[in-house]
Amino acid sequence: MEQEDLPGEYVAEAAAPPATTEPESQAQLPVVQQVPLDALQAERSERQRLQEEVRLMRDNMALMQAQQKFQQNQHAEPESKLSDDDVLTVGEAKKYLNTIDNNYRMGLQELKIAQKYPDYQTTVTKYLPEVLKQNPSLRSTLEKTQDFELAYYLAKNSSSYISENKSAKKNADAERIVKNAGKAGSLSSVGQSSPISEAKRYKDMSDDEFRNTVSQNLGYY
């Protein structure tokens, strides 16, 4: 016999099992890329170096602009402010002639410095900003005096210039010694160590060792 549903009774049907979904592919998940700490530190150091170079360039440009402004003020012709009907006094004439004389002397001085020191422009442009950074009071001194030789002297005595050129001079002297050692030796060198191997040893010396060795060879002590 078929079972009939009685009134007031509720017959629950079996619930369908929940649908299962396949796990998402790993390729669809966002990939978090990790940057090595060394790369971050290198990038930060490079960014700081570039920022420092930009700041030094701005300081150098500011100095050059100040020099140009000073020269323009010196070159400004006083008679441009006068009309044709104005009378030039003796004092104004002397002042005008003094301005012309000062401008001539300044231009001549700069020309002499450039001829005396062929590396004047490159040295001042590259190394003077460091000096002005360490001694800001020198900026106003140079702007007032327009002493081109002083600017060149300060640039050549900067720590960066001395460090770079000391290394360059050492390498040049070592190369010259190696080159000379390759030539035929004198009779006094017979029985001694190979000149070439002895000369190449200079390249591995420290700055103090190299300086002392050269001084001894020259008979300074």
For residue range 94-132, what is the model confidence (pLDDT) as tens digits? 776 667 766 767 677 777 888 888 898 889 889 999 899
On the question of pLDDT at 53 being above 70, the answer is yes
- pLDDT range class, residue 59, cuts 50, 70, 90: confident
- pLDDT range class, residue 191, cuts 50, 70, 90: very low
Counting other chains too, the contacts that 115-123 makes at CB distance below 8 Å and 24 or more residues apart are 117/152, 120/148, 120/152, 123/152, 123/155, 123/156, 123/161
On the question of pLDDT at 65 being above 60, the answer is yes
107/49 Cα distance (integer angstroms): 36
Q: 120-168: per-residue pLDDT in tens?
A: 888 988 999 989 988 888 888 888 888 888 888 999 999 889 888 876 6
151/125 Cα distance (integer angstroms): 10
**Which two tokens mark 8?**
């007031």
Query: For residues 106 and 146, is the Cβ–Cβ distance under 8 A?
Result: yes
For CA atoms 137, 138, 140, 145, give the dihedral sign: positive
For CA atoms 131, 133, 134, 136, give the dihedral sign: positive
Query: For residues 82 and 88, is the Cβ–Cβ distance under 8 A?
Result: yes
Q: E strands of the chain, at which residues?
A: none
Closest to 102 measured CA to CA, from 75, 136, 83: 75
Mean pLDDT of the region 193-217: 62
Which residues, 6 or more positions from 176, have their beta carbon under 8 angstroms from its beta carbon? none
